[in-house]
Structure 1
Amino acid sequence: MTNLFNQLFNMIFNFTNDYGIAIIVFTILVKLALLPFSIKQKKSMKIQQKLSKEMSELKAKYKDDEETLNKEMVALYKKNPGSGIGFLLLFAQMPIFIAMYRAFSTNIVNAPTVILPWIDNLSHPDPYFLIPIIYIVSQALPSLLVTMGAIKNSTIPKLSASMLIPSIIIALLFLTKSPAALGLYFIISNIISNVEQLIPISN
Structure 2
Amino acid sequence: MTNIFSQLFNVIFNFTNDYGIAIIVFTILVKLALLPLNIKQKKSMKVQQKLSLEMNVLKEKYKDDQEKLNEEMVNLYKENPGSGIGFLLLFAQMPILIAMYKAFSNNIVNSPTIILPWINNLSKPDPYFLIPIIYIVSQALPSLLVTIGAIKNSTIPKFSITMLIPTCIIAILILTKSPAALGLYFIISNIISTVEQLMPVSE
Question: Which range, TM-score by smaller chain?
Answer: 0.7 to 0.9
CA distance in 2: counterparts of 1:53 and 1:150, whole angstroms: 26
The structural deviation recorded for 1:25 is 0.8
Name the counterpart of 1:92. Answer: 96
Q: Using the aligned pairs only, state the percent identity.
A: 73
CA distance in 2: counterparts of 1:188 and 1:179, whole angstroms: 15
Q: Secondary structure at the match of 1:103?
A: coil
Name the counterpart of 2:117. Answer: 117
Of 70-79 and 188-197, more deviation after overlay is shown by 70-79
Q: Deviations over 1:87-124 (max 9, x none)?
A: 222332011112322222xxx2x121012111111111
- Structure 2 gap ranges (5+): none
CA 167–70 in structure 1, closer or farther in 2 if over 3 Å, else same: farther
2:31 matches 1:31 = yes
Q: Deviations over 1:15-50 (max 9, x none)?
A: 222211111111111111111111111111211221
The amino acid of 1:82's aligned partner reads: G
CA 63–5 in structure 1, closer or farther in 2 if over 3 Å, else same: same
Kindly tell me the number of residue pairs found equivalent between the two proteins: 199
Name the counterpart of 2:142. Answer: 142
Name the counterpart of 2:201. Answer: 201
2:53 matches 1:49 = no
CA distance in 2: counterparts of 1:159 and 1:186, whole angstroms: 20
- Structure 1 gap ranges (5+): none
CA distance in 2: counterparts of 1:64 and 1:9, whole angstroms: 60
CA distance in 2: counterparts of 1:98 and 1:40, whole angstroms: 26
For the aligned residue pairs, the C-alpha RMSD in angstroms reads 2.7
Note if contact 1:42-1:155 (Cα within 8 Å) is conserved in structure 2: no
